[in-house]
Copies of this chain bind each other. A is one copy, B any other.
């Protein structure tokens, strides 16, 4: 039997047909064009499933399930996307519509949870019973896998791992609260701080790298300047590692997972990120001994597709 996983993103609808182990056999994607009517987007997801069958030669009767990972709040039981600010969707009965057309069981889940599940099935957290996958990107997202199953809380809100306050009365977060981890350790936060440094210190390499056009500064600008031993950038990046580590220690003290995998744009720094962060975590984890492994996520964008594909194998909630 096969599975189809769809990662419904703000830019693209990326999908894959997988085998029962989550191995992607065939991929296809189309632009989301999120300004469209919701119906049109759902129709495209149906079409993508047909295309994947055609491309792979898999008979529709051999597709055990279709899973959809959405940026937002799903009602998993009813298969409704309750709300997604990224997609301008509200109460869209994705499962019902798709099931009617395809006659295949449809599952929906939050996209960060799908990514965490994908990493657990065949990526960085494989063979771990308890793991967390964190996305350090525009925001901080996260998915928690406990006993090899997605933990998604009691209601539909999900697990907002970026919204743990690490600095009471600190930086304002997009969520309206002050001091959230996301307001310190997301790429957005790093860029904010890098731009502030460039504005203050025109002698810095961060300023120099963009010829003073501060808006061009991104996370990579900061890391690259630190690599060149620019003192401002080194200090900035070290502080950033500290913020990342504080949130990770919090999660480790709560969950004691076997592995935390770091994904998202920032994780492309690889060992430059992982090694110093791990050192900082080791220094302050409760009990003084770090048992949790901290690694780079492995599957990139495929994680969400694979996790969505195998949602049906998560068993009774």
Q: How far does the Cβ of A130 sit from chain B's closest Cβ, in whole Å?
A: 5
Q: Which of A93-101, A154-162, A263-271 contacts B (4 or more CB under 8 A)?
A: A154-162
Q: Are A165 and B250 in contact (CB under 8 A)?
A: yes
Q: Taking A163-B286, A167-B168 as contacts, is the C-beta distance between A146 and B151 under 8 angstroms?
A: yes
Q: How far does the Cβ of A245 sit from chain B's closest Cβ, in whole Å?
A: 10
Give A286 to B162 CA distance when docked, in angstroms.
Answer: 10
Which chain B positions have C-beta within 8 A of A161?
A: 253-254
Which chain B positions have C-beta within 8 A of A41?
A: none
The reply to whether the CB of A129 lies closer than 8 angstroms to some CB of chain B is yes
Q: Taking A257-B153, A258-B154, A291-B155 as contacts, is the C-beta distance between A166 and B163 under 8 angstroms?
A: no
How many residues of A are counted as interface, with CB atoms below 8 angstroms from the partner's CB atoms? 43
Residue among A163, A170, A250, A254 with the highest chain B CB neighbour number at 10 A: A254
Q: Are A153 and B255 in contact (CB under 8 A)?
A: yes
1/0 per residue, CB under 8 A from B, across A130-158: the answer is 10000000000000101000011111011
Give A164 to B167 CA distance when docked, in angstroms.
Answer: 11
1/0 per residue, CB under 8 A from B, across A105-125: the answer is 000000000000000000000
Q: Taking A146-B146, A151-B146, A286-B175 as contacts, is the C-beta distance between A246 and B165 under 8 angstroms?
A: yes
State the copy count for this chain: 2
| Chain B residue at minimal CB-CB distance from A257 | B154
The reply to whether the CB of A176 lies closer than 8 angstroms to some CB of chain B is yes
The reply to whether the CB of A284 lies closer than 8 angstroms to some CB of chain B is yes
Give A305 to B257 CA distance when docked, in angstroms.
Answer: 28
Q: Is the interface of A mostly helix, strand, loop or mixed?
A: loop
The reply to whether the CB of A44 lies closer than 8 angstroms to some CB of chain B is no
The reply to whether the CB of A177 lies closer than 8 angstroms to some CB of chain B is yes
1/0 per residue, CB under 8 A from B, across A210-225: the answer is 0000000000000000
Q: Are A254 and B159 in contact (CB under 8 A)?
A: yes
The reply to whether the CB of A287 lies closer than 8 angstroms to some CB of chain B is yes
Q: Are B255 and A159 in contact (CB under 8 A)?
A: yes
The reply to whether the CB of A193 lies closer than 8 angstroms to some CB of chain B is no
The reply to whether the CB of A226 lies closer than 8 angstroms to some CB of chain B is no
Beyond contacts A144-B254, A154-B255, A254-B254: 10 other A-B pairs, Cβ-Cβ < 8 A, are: A153-B256, A157-B286, A157-B287, A159-B255, A164-B250, A165-B249, A165-B250, A167-B167, A168-B170, A176-B284
19 A–B contacts from the bound complex (CB under 8 Å)? A128-B154, A144-B254, A146-B146, A146-B151, A154-B256, A154-B257, A154-B258, A159-B253, A159-B254, A160-B254, A160-B287, A161-B254, A163-B250, A164-B250, A165-B246, A166-B179, A167-B167, A168-B184, A177-B284
Q: Tell me the A residues contacting B by CB distance below 8 Å.
A: 128-130, 144, 146, 151-155, 157-161, 163-168, 170, 175-177, 179, 184, 243, 246, 249-250, 253-258, 284, 286-288, 291-292
